Amino acid sequence: MANPKHELKPEDKRLQESITAIGNGYMGLRGNFEEGYSGDKLQGTYLGGVWFPDKTVVGWWKNGYPKYFGKVINAPSFIDMKLVVNGHKVDLAQDSYQNFSLTLDLHQGLLSRSFIYVGNDTKVRFTFRRFLSNVIKEAALIEVKADVLAGQATIKLDASLDGNVTNEDSNYGDRFWQPISEDGNEHTIQMVTKPNPYGVPRFTVLLKQHLRLNGAAYNGDVKTATGIISENWEDTLQAGQSVRIEKDVIVITSRDVVPDEQVERAAELMYELQAKSFTENLTEHTAVWGSRWSASDVVIDGDEAAQQGIRFNIAQLFMTYHGEDERLNVGPKGFTGEKYGGATYWDTEAYVVPMYLAVAQPQVTRGLLQYRHDQLPGAYHNARQQGLKGALFPMVTFNGIECHNEWEITFEEIHRNAAVAFAIYQYTAYTGDESYVNHDGIEVLVAISRFWADRVHYSQHQHKYMIHGVTGPNEYENNVNNNWYTNTMAAWVLQYTLARIPHADHDVMQGLAVTDEEQAYWRDIVDNMYFPEDKKLGIFFTKRYLSG
């Protein structure tokens, strides 16, 4: 039986690209083919924290409705290494080929691919390797080796940087990037996101490439066009001969370097990168992965598929986020595609935080908690948009401002607020580190508690506090009253906040000005929250809260 990794199935091409995506937290890309592919595909390169506010498409508006849907945008492509053999452009969607192999090494985040191109009078084996450095976060290294197995092959390679990219999920079909410059001497292109009417800062990105031929620096014929720079190599090889070409890339964004300084910074990083060989850079990169795996590996005996599955999930999460940048978070699809806009969802606190606590160093989770604290201003804004006090953390965001475009989620899935508070509890309980909860964390807890205290209403008939008009975490039913999970977590947050206040930093509490009357009101909500019960169906619920 053929090994699935040695089969290229056009009908599964997009799936292949998703499951072979790689990243280093700073950037990531789908498993697209360097030489290009004319069949169905989704070309995707993504930069952490680089996004665009795409105008929302809706049929009607509610008060406070987000004006845009934030999404990570397809970044300028840097993997392109088009190949021509004896005048024919190599394209696995149309060509004859043999011995296709594609492997993602989870231990080092290395993507490898090989195949034998079969021409009319020649056979050439092409072998690709690429990785995104964990040592120089701005660096991508791509290597292709050509071995002529039969006949004579005149091989041309065109290595390019291409800023003329689009998003499939653009609400209005817009192109999000505009060119600034193409510099053949510096081997760079510089692009900027198009203007927007929402006050979201524009992002500028600069990409720089250099080639190496059999390990030595190589300067080929450089050409430029709008948003594109390309460099060519060509030679004729006989059977038994081979060549190895490496493409080194540096990607700089205005999140870290102002546009006027990007050329200089890219040159510095390129010098640092090319001071070492592909193998030496890969060895250092792999050492970082080694330290992660030594602390994080999960071993499952007796189930090979489950073992591979858990390691795949850990690797993909670590390639998306490993705590190096507290301005970033974990998109639901990581760097694997455009779905969910690459934004921050409540899934981070609900599902990802427990995983990171179990298999990563504590500072990784601490970074995710800090992310939410730093975006408190946006959460206050979201609550005000609904006419409520306190802070409402968003379902979808890049900057703390809610940007989801479905009203039943934007306005009603407010249980997400409790997930943020519960993540603080989990981190504190798991690590024993109270430094966050007693300082920045208590600010978050008080802000969320004030939201819940304003969102509930008191039923004179039931003599209970209730929360109407919500969508529960299963998302199956919208606009329901007293979803049990939502009510439970709202009461729990109030109780946990009350339990933490006596331990919190005095100066922080002075600034928050939580009065005795306010705390008494929170206790009353905790003691008198309504929990629905259907005695006929035997469905009932009890109050059980985690201790503070």
- CA dist 167 and 16 (Å) reads 19
State the maximum Cα–Cα separation within the chain, in Å, rounded to a whole number. Answer: 90
3-state secondary structure of 359: helix
Contact indicator for 390, 382 with CB cutoff of 8 Å: no
- CA dist 387 and 227 (Å) reads 45
Q: What is the DSSP string of 6-27?
A: G---GGGHHHHHHHT-EE-SSE
In the block, tokens 């670590």 appear at 318
- CA dist 529 and 526 (Å) reads 6
Of these residues, 168, 475, 477, 533, which one is catalytic? 475
**Percentage helix, strand, coil, to 5, in the chain?**
35, 25, 40
Report the relative pairing of strands 45-47 and 27-29 from DSSP bridges. Answer: antiparallel
Q: How many helices and strands in the chain, by DSSP H and E?
A: 14, 21
Q: At 55, which helix (H) or strand (E)? A: strand 51-55
Question: Distance between alpha carbon 418 and the CA centroid of its chain, in Å?
Answer: 23
One-letter-per-residue 3-state SS of 129-167: EEEECCCCCCEEEEEEEEEEEEECEEEEEEEEEECCCCC
* Chain length of the chain: 548
- CA dist 417 and 23 (Å) reads 29
List 249's β-bridge partners, or say none: 140, 209
Question: Distance between alpha carbon 548 and the CA centroid of its chain, in Å?
Answer: 32
Which distant-in-sequence residues (6+ apart) come within 8 Å of 135 by Cβ? 281, 284, 285, 288
- CA dist 447 and 123 (Å) reads 66
- CA dist 200 and 416 (Å) reads 24
Respond yes or no: is residue 280 known to be catalytic.
Answer: no
Contact indicator for 180, 97 with CB cutoff of 8 Å: no
Contact indicator for 428, 486 with CB cutoff of 8 Å: no
- CA dist 381 and 547 (Å) reads 30
Report the relative pairing of strands 204-213 and 188-193 from DSSP bridges. Answer: antiparallel
| Tokens read off for 407 | 């009203």
The C-alpha angle 309, 310, 311, rounded to 5 degrees, equals 90
- CA dist 344 and 480 (Å) reads 25
3-state secondary structure of 286: helix
Contact indicator for 186, 267 with CB cutoff of 8 Å: yes
Active site residues: 475
